[in-house]
Amino acid sequence: MKENEISFYIRKSIFSVYNELGPGLLEKVYEKVLAFELENNGLSVKTQVPIPIKFKGIFIDSSFIADIIVEDKVIIEIKSIPEIINVHHKQLLT
């Protein structure tokens, strides 16, 4: 599956979860339910995946954790906040 097709299922799943649960829950709740919904749509899902840092040619464990990785191609960073600010964009880019 290509990224555009994966993103269609991701968006569909996000809307389904949001329409059912609504706003205001903890990120962890949305993560678990979204992972369940994505898997129900036939997608491969990994949650809380550590991302190492490559430094001087060596991979070093880090504190970077991907909330959800779908089909080993798309990272989902879950936010349950009233407003997205610059630091949230930086977190995703990192």
Q: What is the pLDDT of residues 19-54, one digit of tens each?
A: 999 999 999 999 999 999 999 999 999 999 998 888
Total domains, the chain: 1
Structural domain including 17 reads 3-93
pLDDT at 62 over 80: no
pLDDT at 91 over 80: no
Q: Which residues of 13-36 are buried (b: 16+ CB within 10 A; e: fewer)?
A: bbebbeeeeeeeeeeeebbebbbe
Quick one: three-class SS letters along 54-73? Answer: EECCEEECCCCEEEEEECCC
| In contact, 31 and 78? CB cutoff 8 Å | yes
pTM for the full predicted model: 0.85
Mean pLDDT, the chain, whole residue set = 92
pLDDT at 11: 96
Distance from C-alpha of 32 to C-alpha of 72, rounded to nearest angstrom: 18
